[in-house]
A and B are shown apart, each in its own frame.
Chain A
């Protein structure tokens, strides 16, 4: 259970700040919602008034069409009731933020989703000193350690080349917002070939381009004529397209999945993809521990993910840790 000094508490609508009378990423409609980023489990429809980062606004617009949205620059402070609130880069996807709440000199930071690995599509995570840190815990087990991105990019390129040599399409599944654009930006360092996109990714990739992110040239799969041969082409698609009729156009395709979950062999095998690439937009175990220490927080509230391991570990480190049961997902 949270305490008044945590500055945030759980209500049926979601994570709530009583001093400022607002919710952060509520899962039910409320009056005021501060949104950390545009993923579906954090940006839900129905609230009256939304706040988000200026740079992330076009992405929130895709998720929450027609809503009332006010924006803040990173670091800009705004008063909500008794609370001074500011948003700081979380390094998760373009426009993603941590929420800093200050009440009477006491500071709580809600991380939202975050990562520490470099990502050319968004501002890097900023360590915000605080007393209370609400941290995500999606990959909070020490078996989750991310390989360097250069190595993963080399693997993807090698797989793409091998598919081309065999004359088959390479279909890479990944989350449509964040992961897809990060891959397109990272691959641009190694090649200039064109990538084909599933329809669900088109608008999001377009928004990223408008926001100045450099990525590989892309073309919608739907632009290709019926019966086109995709041999040797790389296609990006959301995981939901796997096994759908949409896949029939790719003859003998080799399939891959880019996600932190691919670190575990059982996950790779169970999902039935030919290849798993370990790329995550969440913090791995070493990053979680390092970040928690760096904030200087004595009180840590891990949420959504493997809190079972993280909480007792933090207690062994002498921190006051308690799990916070939120409704956020574990997609990556």
Chain B
């Protein structure tokens, strides 16, 4: 644990990605495979099974520190990170010894916690807290409370591993995709110099991600070199058919099996050894249903007949990355699309409704595509995707071959009514805002937004919020309705789950409208008109 805490401190202290990669590579090369495996697990954002409730931790923190629970809460809301708060509240031991390895800590000390009773957990935690020095105690708490938040992405971990093993990052990324189990054997397999991709039968491919088109579309060259598709507003997914069984993975590398039986049933008709990249959408009569319809399906592990009828789903397939059991990512998009179309053409009736080809758009030139893009909203799509026909299927976000050409967002002027402190880099600053619009004389909340302000604006708003708090509800403060912000969002749908009756997609702050008074903010009726239109 000492060595891992040192790594954590190094990662935390540096803002340069090169230094982070260097620190991880050194760590992976030095420590036993069992520790390295767990480090990969937690640094890539994979969590440990829930070990202890946060409320129980807070009660124990109050016990260990001797402070009343409300003061622990007050400290937590100031610091914004429970793991750190607990560490800061407690004295460090004069002489600290911790020679246990990371894997021993996790497997032998942390893993049994859920099976103990509260008293058993209390005895252990109080002892650990009193024995460990600051850095280790903080990291221990981080492991117990969830994600590490140390500014390391899966991409950086992959770079570090690739450097240690002298392998291509794409290969390591692929080996790490899907359900990766943190064992010494699995860690050695990641670094296996043989270069063989021992792909697990369940393992998906790393997704290739598009970048936003920020320059004129004409700069992409000849229209004929590009495939144009609608940019669907659904869930990016990979459908694998191997050994006679279908597996469905989300872009977040979560298994979606069971949630979308329509798609899995249709996959039975696909040949073995294929991997299809596409988008899951709620779909009716040849057009997408609003994202909120799909949202109701995502949460259901085993959807019932009503849910299947209310929001039938479809996989709009846009790429084929494995064919006849062979990785075909290096062949051209044109070639991959042709093979994909062939497979889909052989699907029997019924199955061909659940898995469809995401159509290529006509539009002979860029102007014609621009006109199609203007009609995106009426079609329930976010804009266009432009993909170079000669491009291979790459790993992660690589600029140049795949572009998303979205329509301009909707905007609205809304009033700040609630604020909550952020986490990580934004801890103990009020950065999570709730905005409202007018419904008659009342302000009803319609959107939460976290991003869009500069650090300077965040600081200014934070001071204002502290001085103008009306009420406190736990970590949330209600503030005087005073400030108006222009928000951008992608779509608006009717929603029974929201008090306002509407839900907006991807709200973010465009600018602080200091020129507007709260009476100038938009009304719910205006918003509903957008929803209807």
- Which residues from chain A sit less than 8 Å from chain B, CB to CB? 141-145, 263-267, 269-270, 272, 274-275, 306, 308-309, 312-313, 316
Residue pair B85, A143 in contact (C-beta under 8 Å): yes
Nearest B residue to A267, CB-CB: B428
Nearest B residue to A143, CB-CB: B88
Also in contact, A266 and B429, with CB within 8 A (given A143-B75, A143-B78, A143-B79): yes
Question: What are 12 pairs between A and B in contact, CB < 8 Å?
Answer: A141-B75, A142-B65, A143-B78, A143-B85, A263-B88, A264-B88, A264-B427, A265-B84, A266-B428, A272-B15, A274-B15, A309-B74
Which residues B14-28 have CB closer than 8 A to chain A?
14-15
Which residues on B sit within 8 Å (CB–CB) of A145? Answer: 88
B105 CB to nearest chain A CB (Å): 21
- Assuming A264-B88, A266-B80, A270-B429, what are 11 further A-B pairs, CB within 8 angstroms? A141-B74, A142-B67, A144-B88, A264-B84, A265-B427, A267-B427, A267-B428, A269-B424, A306-B78, A313-B71, A316-B68
Residue pair B455, A265 in contact (C-beta under 8 Å): no
B interface residue count range (under 10 / 10 to 19 / 20 to 34 / 35 or more):
20 to 34
Also in contact, A142 and B75, with CB within 8 A (given A264-B427, A265-B81, A269-B424): yes
A94 CB to nearest chain B CB (Å): 30
Also in contact, A312 and B70, with CB within 8 A (given A143-B89, A264-B427, A269-B425): yes
Also in contact, A266 and B79, with CB within 8 A (given A143-B88, A272-B15, A274-B13): yes
Residue pair A141, B78 in contact (C-beta under 8 Å): yes
B67 CB to nearest chain A CB (Å): 5
A267–B429 Cα gap in the complex (Å)? 9
Contact of A265 among B12, B15, B68, B429 (CB under 8 A): B12
- Which residues from chain B sit less than 8 Å from chain A, CB to CB? 12-15, 65, 67-68, 70-71, 74-75, 78-81, 84-85, 88-89, 424-429, 455
Residue pair A266, B70 in contact (C-beta under 8 Å): no
Residue pair B424, A266 in contact (C-beta under 8 Å): yes
Contact of B455 among A141, A270, A308 (CB under 8 A): A270
A61–B278 Cα gap in the complex (Å)? 72
Which residues on B sit within 8 Å (CB–CB) of A272? Answer: 15
A144–B425 Cα gap in the complex (Å)? 18
Which residues on B sit within 8 Å (CB–CB) of A308? Answer: 74
Also in contact, A264 and B424, with CB within 8 A (given A142-B75, A143-B85): no
Which residues on A sit within 8 Å (CB–CB) of B13? Answer: 274-275
Which residues on B sit within 8 Å (CB–CB) of A265? Answer: 12, 81, 84, 427
A266–B12 Cα gap in the complex (Å)? 11
B142 CB to nearest chain A CB (Å): 11
Residue pair A264, B68 in contact (C-beta under 8 Å): no
Nearest B residue to A261, CB-CB: B428
Contact of A270 among B67, B68, B79, B426 (CB under 8 A): B426
A307 CB to nearest chain B CB (Å): 11
A276 CB to nearest chain B CB (Å): 9
